[in-house]
Chains A and B, each alone.
Chain A
Amino acid sequence: MTDPRTNKDQNDMSRERLFLRLYQTNERRIYGFILSLVPVWSEADDLMQEAIMVMWTKFEEFEPGTDFVAWALCIARYQVLNYRKKKQTEKVRFSNQTIEAIADRVAAVGDKRDDRRDALRKCLKKLKARDCKLLQLRYELGATTRSVAQRVGRGVDAVYKALNITHIQLLHCIRRALAAEESS
């Protein structure tokens, strides 16, 4: 039996699978990197889309076995810098000094991503059901704090404050969980 596909097709297929796997495992980290440098959701979404296209275009240059995240972040960083050049007049834009500092910092935080995810899962369980529901509604596609407030029948300010507190609680909870793990 001969395989109807050529070798090249097969190589392309496995190459695509490899890319998909690497990308999916590290998607959040790359996205987090972009969002922390360009902290506007919609802009980060667009940048992410562009970055992944560039990654796929250049994936031939990537050597399997080397550090995919470092490679991907390098591309993302370039995309962000390029984007900043175009958007020089916008006010919601970090200074170069901040960008440098944050970019270095993300690399370190991302190292523990699986631990962080487990910790988040546990911490979410500790939240009051009401606060958890607010989070869920707020992160729904297309939701705004206002739309969440309307849905739960509370004031916008009250919902905003509750969400702020929940975020801080989760942040501290994750920190504590990771610290406990390290010392144990």
Chain B
Amino acid sequence: MTSNPEKFAEFFGLLSALRDEVITDAQFAQLDKLLAVNPEAQQYYVEYIMLCVELRKYQALNENSEPEAEDIMRETLEQSENISAQYAAEEKQQKAEAMRKAVEQAAEAAFRKFREQEQRANQKLERERYSYSLLGWTFGLGALAASLIIIVVLGLYFGHKPNVIAAPQVVATLTRTLNAKWDDNTLPTTTGGELFVGEMKLVRGYAQITFMDGAKVVLQAPAQFKLETDEQIFLQNGRLTAKVPPGAEGFKLNTPNAMMIDLGTEFGVSVSETGQSELHVFEGEVKLFSEKRTGGNKYKQTFRTGQAGMIDKNGQLSKKTYKATPRSFVRNIPKKMPYGRPGERLDMADVIGGGNGFGTGDPNQSINPDNGQTRPGFYNRDAVGVQGSNDFIPTADLDFIDGVFVPDGGDGPIAVSSQGHTFNNCPDTNGKFCWDIFNGNTATEDRRRQLLDGKEYGTYSQPAISMHSNSGITFDLDKIRASMPGSRIIAFSTLCGLTGARDFPIADFWVLVDGQKRFSMTGARQRDQARSIRINLADHDRFLTIAITDGGNKPGSGGADWGIFAKPILILAPVGRE
């Protein structure tokens, strides 16, 4: 091959395409053919792959903020220790286990039968009262069919073949995970492993479960759920996205107060700690049944593409149909770990992009601090500055953000939340702003706008919120809490400072909680070291505000106040742990 330069170039072309994951099937077949027989090609191929691996590791060493290799190892070890312990226990108790499962299944079936009989009796009663209720009919017929099947199954267990013990029923496969950690007391979990009927609790990360009937469910930690059958899941609390391919229609998702039947679609469901459920249909149709616990009213409604509904803890369906917010759900497990990690830390830069803090947002979105509107990309309002209104402006499209403002304390306290919290010692500024609040890369003209202490921010692995004075933004922590049942917010942490190439800019950085100052850095300059801050948050703290003001030297008359809040995160902990 070396003697034939043309062939050589072609071979390296194939390797390049493979490395960049743009290789076509035909090219791959060609590469395979070559590698099967040509020792020289094999040698080059292996060296090339080893080079790629080294380069990736080499790069990883430079990213010192990523968790140390050892930490990752320890996490993995913890996980695998659980698994190996579970394996051992399983091997020893396989027979006992199978017996227990069979008994449990039979008990469950008996319970189901009891429940359905009861339901049937109720419905019969209801049918007599409202003989034209279509809903009653649907339930009645379904229950009748189900109880017939159960009678047959019970007959098998206890009647004719009392000695046959059923193997646990495989209902799904754990098809993918990322940074996942499971509660020790739930089902064994290895990626690629089979899953049985039973309860599971995802404590950290993401998991994808594929049901035997083909429906795929992506879960984001924390989530507590039960696999009920090969086409049915019960979500106790947490958030998930379900994708139901053609042929798997009829997939059922139960929550404590509702049942959803999928008619071929993709949809998201969340259940809060208090039992409130939300259904968001991204595509297709979902039929929802809910039951008001206190009264006798049943609700049935079909939701279509782009629609969302809410069911309160009593099973009462909201009258209003909402707009679905697909960005607040993780729809696919990301290929690489986003900076925000479910159950561990929530990335506020992702929130600026309309995301849920775990990488679902637009990574390149800005918010105008004077009208709250978003737009893709970074936006230069005006080099000499635009006069702001000095009002607090609620943001309509961004659920986790309460609002924005252009701070100027010249006329006294300014509003920093929709609930009337004020920033009492806001400095007197010229009340102007130049640039929008942005979560992407601001290095459109000047690379150094992204550098803080020589490190680059505003990237996938090192996210940041860029803010130019004068601007401020308030996050609604209660809305964020509601989106992640099972997690608490315990602190806000970030690294802030001035970036850019010039030395004259001066700016002030502020962090407020419910209007109270919790951090300030006044008179900051580019040459100063960035400040790393951590602000502890209590469960009752509702509004977190970050702001930057002009430090008295007025932007627009030579400001260039390139402020950055790098790696802005909410630190999370499981509910019930400090």
A contacts, CB < 8 Å to B: 16, 19-20, 23-24, 27-28, 31-32, 35-36, 39-42, 46, 49-50, 52-53, 56-57, 86, 91-92, 94-95, 97-98, 101-102, 105-106, 109-110, 113, 116-117, 120, 124, 135-136, 139-143, 145, 147, 151, 160, 163-164, 167-168, 170-171, 174-175
Contacts and interface: CB of A to CB of B under 8 A. Distances in A.
A113 B15 CA distance: 21
A168 B11 CA distance: 11
Could you say which interface size class chain B belongs to? 35 or more
B51 A101 contact: no
Given A56-B84, A57-B84, A92-B23, A31 B12 contact: no
B461 A32 contact: no
A41 B19 CA distance: 9
Contact of B190 (A20, A27, A50): A50
- Among A101, A106, A170, which residue has the most Cβ atoms of chain B within 10 A? A101
B7 to A, nearest CB: 14
A160 B55 contact: no
Nearest to A20: B73
B45 A102 contact: yes
- Among A28, A31, A32, A141, which residue has the most Cβ atoms of chain B within 10 A? A141
Contacts of A124: 58
B54 A116 contact: yes
Given A32-B53, A36-B45, A140-B461, A91 B36 contact: no
B59 A139 contact: yes
Contacts of B319: none
Contacts of A135: 55, 59
B307 interface: no
B191 A50 contact: yes
- Among A23, A36, A46, A124, which residue has the most Cβ atoms of chain B within 10 A? A36
Contacts of B51: 120, 167, 170-171, 174
Contacts of A164: 12-13, 16
A-B pairs, top 8 by smallest CB distance, nearest first, are A142-B460, A139-B59, A53-B80, A164-B16, A57-B84, A141-B461, A36-B49, A142-B336
| Chain A interface, DSSP helix/strand/loop, else mixed | helix
| Chain B interface, DSSP helix/strand/loop, else mixed | helix
A31 B47 CA distance: 13
Interface of B: 12-13, 15-16, 18-21, 23, 25, 28-29, 32, 35-37, 39, 42-60, 62-63, 66, 69-70, 73, 76-77, 79-81, 83-84, 87, 176, 190-192, 335-338, 441, 443, 459-461
Nearest to B461: A141
A98 B36 contact: yes
B69 A105 contact: no
Given A41-B21, A92-B25, A120-B51, A136 B191 contact: no
A50 B32 contact: no
A107 B16 CA distance: 23
